[in-house]
Amino acid sequence: MGMIKEFKEFAVKGNAFDMAVGVIIGGAFGTIVSSIIDDLVMPIVAAIVGKPDFSSIFFAMGKGASQIPVGASLAEAREVAPDAAIFAYGNFITIAINFVLLALVVFMLVRALNKMKRKQAEEPEATPTPSNEEVLLGEIRDLLKENK
């Protein structure tokens, strides 16, 4: 029974829920960043470089490499020459670009959050100005103290 109670306490604590929310938001955030990269950034890079899909950039070596037709996709090359050593560096380029852009977005997000936290820490808490009724009640209190 003690282990079940400990598990309930762990699962109900805020840390476990915060972690679960973080994982879910992280997954959604990853999808958004992937879309930004695939749909917005990569077409611009492809327009500059001239190749829309980096994952099909490769070169083949060894046995069977000469059987691969010029302009074949990576999947076609692997199908035509299964014995060839295919160095598929284009996919690595795509993943590296994705990583750099994701790291940049996370850095900017963390930087903005830290800036907001610093701003909140620097601002002293504003003391609310008393209403007219509070001022009058304070004056009445002070007058009553003087009369005693």
Look up residue 55 and give its two tokens.
């994952």
Round the average pLDDT of the chain to a whole number and report it.
81
The residue count for the chain: 148
DSSP states of 82-112 as a string?
Answer: TTSEEE-HHHHHHHHHHHHHHHHHHHHHHHH
**pLDDT tier, 53 (very low <50, low <70, confident <90, very high otherwise):** low
pLDDT digits (tens, 9 = 90+) for 11-26: 777 677 777 888 888 8
Provide the pairing of β-strand 85-87 with 59-61: antiparallel
pLDDT of 51 > 70? The answer is no
pLDDT digits (tens, 9 = 90+) for 81-109: 888 888 888 888 878 877 887 788 778 88
Query: In angstroms, rounded to a whole number, what is the distance separating the alpha carbons of residues 16 and 91?
Result: 36
pLDDT digits (tens, 9 = 90+) for 104-139: 877 888 899 889 888 888 777 667 788 888 888 888
Query: In angstroms, rounded to a whole number, what is the distance separating the alpha carbons of residues 43 and 53?
Result: 9
Question: Is this prediction's pTM over 0.85?
Answer: no
Q: What percent of the chain has pLDDT over 70?
A: 94
